[in-house]
Structure 1
Amino acid sequence: MKLQSIDNIYHINRDSRVKRWFYIFLVFGIVVLFLPWTQNIKVRGNVSTLYQDQRPQQLNSPIPGKIIKWYVKNGDYVKKGDTIIQLTEVKDDYLDPLLLERTQEQVKAKKGVRSYYEAKVGATDSQLTALKASRELKISQLKVKIGQLNNKLAAEEAELIAADNELKLSEDQYNRQKKMYDDGLVSLTQFQQRSVSYQNALAKKTAAQNKLAQTRQEIVATNIEQNATIQDYTEKLSKTQGERYQSMGQIEGSTGDIAKLENQAANYKARKGLYFVLASQDGQVVQLNKAGIGEILKETESIGTIVPKKVDYAVEIYVKPVDLPLLKEGQRVMCIFDGFPAIVFSGWPNTSYGTFTGKLVAIENNISVNGLFKALVVEDKMQKPWPPQIKMGAGVQGIAILNDVPIWYELWRNINGFPPDYYVAKTETTTK
C-alpha cells in the first residue's frame, strides 16, 4: 500500500532545483566580481580647526592675585572684552592704593632736580663765557703793558747809549784837562769843573743803566704775571668746566631715573588694568576650575577655557605610515561624525548615507607621539555641508577615497597582500 504522507514529506519523485540555483548563484557571483569597487583607507580622527585663534583658549591669570568677584559661570556665552573675574593684589610691593600717584610724584620731583641741574649748566656756561672774556681782557692788558715796557726799554737803551757817549766825551775831556793841569796850563778851578762834568756824566750813565735794568725787570715781571694770569684762568675754567660736566652727569642720571620711574608708573598703570580678566574672544566659558571668593591665583594659572563661537571646522585624521604614500593633497575623504547616524558602504561611497565629504588640505611631515602621521581635512564647499551641530574634539571616522577597481581585482589584491593602487598616470600632450 502506497502512503501519501511519505510522498508529501520527502518529495521523492519531485525534480531537484539545486543545480539550477547553483548556476544562478554562479552567474550572479561572476557578475558581482566585475562590479566597480572604490578602494579606500579607513582612519580615525577628531574635529578641530585650521586656525589657532579658533581653538579653545585657556583663561589665565596675568598676575598673582585674590579673586574678589565672579562675573560669569560655567556655560555662559561672552563677547570679546567681557569681564570674567576681578582680582586684587596679594604682593606687598603693590598693596599701596596710591602707589601710582606716589610714583608720579617721584617722577615730578626728579624732573625738578633735572631742571635745577639744567639751569646750573646754563649758569656755568655763562660763567665760562665771562671767565674767557675776563682772561682775554687781562691778557690784552698785560700785552699792552709789555708793549709799553718794550718801548720804554728801547728809549732807555737809547738814553744809555747817549749817556755812554757823553761819558766818553767827558772822560776824554777830563784826561786832557788833567794833563794840562799837571803841565800847569790850566788852573785848579778849571780842572775841578771838568772833573765835576765827568762825574755827572758817569752818574748819568749809571742812572740810565739802573733805569734800563729796572725796565727789564718790569718786563720779566709782567711776563711772569701774564703766565700766572693764564694759569689762574686755566684753573678757574677747568674747575668751572668740571662743575659743568658734573651737572651734565647729574642731568643724565636724573634722565635715567626719570625714565625708570616713568617705566614703573606705566607698569603700575598697566597692572591696574590686569585686575580684571577679560574674554579674549567671543565664545562659551567652560571648565572653570576655581570656586568661590578669596581664592589665590598664581601668575599665568589657568582659570578655565573659552570655546570660540565662530569656528571654521576641520578634521584631524591620523594615518599609518604604511598608508601615507596613498594620500595626496586635494584627495576626497568621506567623514562620519560621532553622534550622526550613518549607513556606510566603503566600496560604494556614493551609496552611503550619513557621510560628509571633505578635502585633504595638508599632511604633516613629522610623525606624532602616537606613531601616526596627522593630516587635515576641510569641508568640500561643492558637496553637502557639514552639520552645524558638530563640536570641537568630537570623534570622526574618515574614509580616504582611492581608485575605482573591479571587485575581483580588490579580492585578488587582498589575497596577495598588495597595496591599493595609488599611482597617478602622467599624460603628455604635444603641440604641433
Structure 2
Amino acid sequence: MVSESSKILEHKVKEASALSRAQLLPENGPKLIGRIMLLLLILLIIILFLPWRQTIGGRGTITSLRPEDRPQTVQNQIGGRIERWAVREGQEVKKGDTIMVISETNQSYFNPELPVRMDEQLNAKRGSEVAADQKIIASDAQIIALTNGLRIQLSAAQNKVKQALNYVQIDSADLVAVKNFYETSKSRLVRYEAGYRNGLFSLTDIETRRLKLQEDRAKVVSQENKLNNARQELLNARIELDNIRAKYQQSLASAQADRSSAVSSKAGVREEIAKLRNEMSNIDIRRALYVIRAPQSGYVVKTLKAGIGENIKEGESVATLQPKAPLVAAEIYVDAMDVPLILDNSNVRLQFEGWPSVQFSGWPSVAVGTFAGKVSVIDRVSTGDKYRLLIRQDNPLPKNDEPWPLQLRQGSGVYGRVILRSVPVWYEIWRQLNGFPPSLEKEPATTTK
C-alpha cells in the first residue's frame, strides 16, 4: 500500500519536472530580450531628438473678415401692415430687390391725396410771401415819399424862419431909428422951451414941437409892437418847423414799423414754406419706404415675420440676409497665456467640420485634409478668458496646398493650430511636464521713437 503511494508520488514529481523544463527559456533568450530593449532605447533616443513643431490650438466658427459680409437683419424704417411677401426663404436676391410690401398704419398719412393738399398749402403760402413782398415795396415807397415831402416842407418852413428872422432884424433896426428920432425930438423940445422962456420962440413953435414929440413917441410904441409881432412870427415859424419834423418822425416810424412787420411776416411765411417742403419730401420718402428692399445681394436665410395683415413696428427686423460673396475667415479662440506668442502673420493649419482630415500636432507637414491660413486680426480685449483670432486664407497659397472649400458656410465649426517654432521632441516633453509656454518662431521687431 505504502509502496504504491510512493510510486504514484514519484511519477507525479517526474511529470512536474518535465513540464518545468519545457517552460524554461532557452539559453539565448536573455540575450534576445536585451537586444530588443537596446533597440527600443536607441529608437526612443532617436525619437527624442526628432524635430517637433510647436502649435497653439483653438476652436471657433467660420465667419467673414469684413463686417458687411456677415449675416444681417433687414429692418423696416417705418411701422406698417404687411401686404405682400416678394421672397421666400433660401431665395437669392439682388441689391434693391423687393422683400416685402407694407401699407400705412399712421392715420396722419391715410389720405391718398395728401401730396396734392400739401401742394395747395404751399401755393397759398407762396401767395402770402408775394403779398409780404408787395407790402415791403409799398412801405419802401411810402418812406421815400415821406422823405421827399419832408425835404420840401422843411425847406418851406426853414425859409419862413429865415424870413421871420429877417423881419425881426429889420424891425429891430427900425425901432432903433425911431427911438433915435424920439430922443432927438425930446432934446429939441427942451431947447425950444428954453428959447420960449427967453423969448426966442413963440408958443406955436412950442406946441408944434410937443405934437412932433408925441408923434415920435407913437412911432416908437408902434415899432416896438411891430418888432414883438415879428419875433412872435419867428417863434411860430420855428414851432412849425419842429412840428413838421415831429410829424415826419412819427409817419416814418409808422412806415418803418409796417415794413418791419412785412419783413417779419415774409420770414414767417418762408419758414412755413420750408416746413411744408420738408414735410412733402418726408411724405415722398415715407411712401417710398412702403417697399422694403434688399440692402445688398445675397440669400434670404430666414423670414422673421409671418403672414399677411400683421402689423410691424418701426425698426423691427423682418428677415435675415446672408451676403452673396463674403470674404470668408476663421474665427478661433485661444488661451490668454498663448496670445503673446502669436504674431500678426503667423501661419495656421485649419480643420473644417465636414471635411475629413488627419493632422499630427507636431508634424503639420504630414497632415491630410487641412488648409493653410494666416493670422489677420488679434483682438485687443479678451472674450471671457479667451482671445479671438481672425484667420484669413493664405495668399499666395503654399506649394501643394489647396484653396479653402467654396462650400464653407458661416457658423460652421473649425479647429485651428497656430504654427510656432520647431523644437526637439525631448524639449516639448520637458516643456509639457513643466507647464512652460511654447516658443516664438521669431521675436517681434521692436520700434523706438
TM-score, normalised with respect to structure 2 = 0.87
1:377 aligns with 2:395: no
- Whichever residue aligns with residue 395 of structure 2, its letter is K
Q: CA deviation at 1:186?
A: 5.4
Q: CA deviation at 1:324?
A: 1.6
Deviates more, 1:238-247 or 1:301-310: 238-247
- Whichever residue aligns with residue 26 of structure 1, its letter is L
Residue 392 of structure 1: aligned partner: 410
Q: CA deviation at 1:176?
A: 4.5
- Segments of structure 2 that go 5 or more residues without pairing to the other structure are 1-14
- Helix, strand or coil: the match of 1:366? coil
1:57 aligns with 2:72: yes
Q: CA deviation at 1:205?
A: 1.9
Looking at structure 2, the residues matched to 352 and 417 of structure 1 have their Cα atoms a distance apart, in angstroms, of: 26
Looking at structure 2, the residues matched to 219 and 343 of structure 1 have their Cα atoms a distance apart, in angstroms, of: 125
1:424 aligns with 2:424: no
Looking at structure 1, the residues matched to 270 and 190 of structure 2 have their Cα atoms a distance apart, in angstroms, of: 91
Looking at structure 2, the residues matched to 378 and 423 of structure 1 have their Cα atoms a distance apart, in angstroms, of: 20
Looking at structure 2, the residues matched to 244 and 215 of structure 1 have their Cα atoms a distance apart, in angstroms, of: 43
2:330 to 309, 315, 324: 315
| 2:95/2:294 contact within 8 Å kept | yes
Q: Decide whether aligned partners of structure 1 residues 224 and 108 sit closer, same or farther in structure 2, where only a CA change above 3 A counts.
A: same
Looking at structure 2, the residues matched to 118 and 73 of structure 1 have their Cα atoms a distance apart, in angstroms, of: 59
Looking at structure 2, the residues matched to 223 and 198 of structure 1 have their Cα atoms a distance apart, in angstroms, of: 37
Q: Decide whether aligned partners of structure 1 residues 116 and 426 sit closer, same or farther in structure 2, where only a CA change above 3 A counts.
A: closer
Residue 381 of structure 2: aligned partner: 366
Residue 209 of structure 1: aligned partner: 224
Looking at structure 1, the residues matched to 406 and 301 of structure 2 have their Cα atoms a distance apart, in angstroms, of: 20
2:119 to 104, 107, 115: 104
| 2:337/2:437 contact within 8 Å kept | no
Q: CA deviation at 1:319?
A: 0.9
- Helix, strand or coil: the match of 2:182? helix
Residue 81 of structure 2: aligned partner: 66
Looking at structure 2, the residues matched to 79 and 307 of structure 1 have their Cα atoms a distance apart, in angstroms, of: 11
- Helix, strand or coil: the match of 1:391? coil
Map 1:25-424 to 2 at 5 A.
25-177=40-192, 189-368=204-383, 370-383=384-397, 384-422=402-440, 424=442
Looking at structure 2, the residues matched to 389 and 282 of structure 1 have their Cα atoms a distance apart, in angstroms, of: 18
Looking at structure 2, the residues matched to 239 and 225 of structure 1 have their Cα atoms a distance apart, in angstroms, of: 21
CA RMSD of aligned residues (A): 2.5
- Helix, strand or coil: the match of 2:379? strand
TM-score, normalised with respect to structure 1 = 0.90
- Segments of structure 1 that go 5 or more residues without pairing to the other structure are 428-432
Q: CA deviation at 1:408?
A: 2.2
Q: CA deviation at 1:20?
A: 4.3
Residue 4 of structure 2: aligned partner: none
Deviates more, 1:260-269 or 1:104-113: 104-113
Looking at structure 1, the residues matched to 262 and 207 of structure 2 have their Cα atoms a distance apart, in angstroms, of: 81
Looking at structure 1, the residues matched to 45 and 195 of structure 2 have their Cα atoms a distance apart, in angstroms, of: 183
Q: CA deviation at 1:356?
A: 0.3
Looking at structure 2, the residues matched to 414 and 184 of structure 1 have their Cα atoms a distance apart, in angstroms, of: 171
- Whichever residue aligns with residue 133 of structure 1, its letter is N
- Helix, strand or coil: the match of 1:223? helix
Looking at structure 2, the residues matched to 195 and 411 of structure 1 have their Cα atoms a distance apart, in angstroms, of: 161
Q: Decide whether aligned partners of structure 1 residues 182 and 296 sit closer, same or farther in structure 2, where only a CA change above 3 A counts.
A: same
Residues 159-183 of structure 1 deviation map (CA, whole Å, 9 limit, x = unaligned): 2222222222333344445566677
| 2:62/2:414 contact within 8 Å kept | yes
Alignment size in residue pairs: 421
Q: Decide whether aligned partners of structure 1 residues 426 and 156 sit closer, same or farther in structure 2, where only a CA change above 3 A counts.
A: closer
Looking at structure 1, the residues matched to 25 and 374 of structure 2 have their Cα atoms a distance apart, in angstroms, of: 63
Q: CA deviation at 1:191?
A: 4.4
State percent identity of aligned pairs.
Answer: 36
Looking at structure 1, the residues matched to 442 and 394 of structure 2 have their Cα atoms a distance apart, in angstroms, of: 22
Looking at structure 1, the residues matched to 207 and 444 of structure 2 have their Cα atoms a distance apart, in angstroms, of: 150
Looking at structure 2, the residues matched to 208 and 188 of structure 1 have their Cα atoms a distance apart, in angstroms, of: 30
Q: CA deviation at 1:197?
A: 2.7
Looking at structure 2, the residues matched to 423 and 288 of structure 1 have their Cα atoms a distance apart, in angstroms, of: 48
Residue 430 of structure 1: aligned partner: none
Deviates more, 1:200-209 or 1:378-387: 200-209
Looking at structure 2, the residues matched to 239 and 283 of structure 1 have their Cα atoms a distance apart, in angstroms, of: 70
Residues 2-50 of structure 1 deviation map (CA, whole Å, 9 limit, x = unaligned): x9xx9xx979769645444444333333322222211112110111112
| 2:161/2:238 contact within 8 Å kept | yes
Looking at structure 2, the residues matched to 282 and 425 of structure 1 have their Cα atoms a distance apart, in angstroms, of: 44
Looking at structure 1, the residues matched to 164 and 191 of structure 2 have their Cα atoms a distance apart, in angstroms, of: 40
Looking at structure 1, the residues matched to 333 and 215 of structure 2 have their Cα atoms a distance apart, in angstroms, of: 135
Looking at structure 1, the residues matched to 42 and 242 of structure 2 have their Cα atoms a distance apart, in angstroms, of: 133
Looking at structure 1, the residues matched to 248 and 58 of structure 2 have their Cα atoms a distance apart, in angstroms, of: 94
Looking at structure 1, the residues matched to 309 and 364 of structure 2 have their Cα atoms a distance apart, in angstroms, of: 58
| 2:150/2:248 contact within 8 Å kept | yes
Deviates more, 1:203-212 or 1:280-289: 203-212
Deviates more, 1:84-93 or 1:101-110: 101-110
Q: CA deviation at 1:259?
A: 1.8
- Whichever residue aligns with residue 435 of structure 2, its letter is G
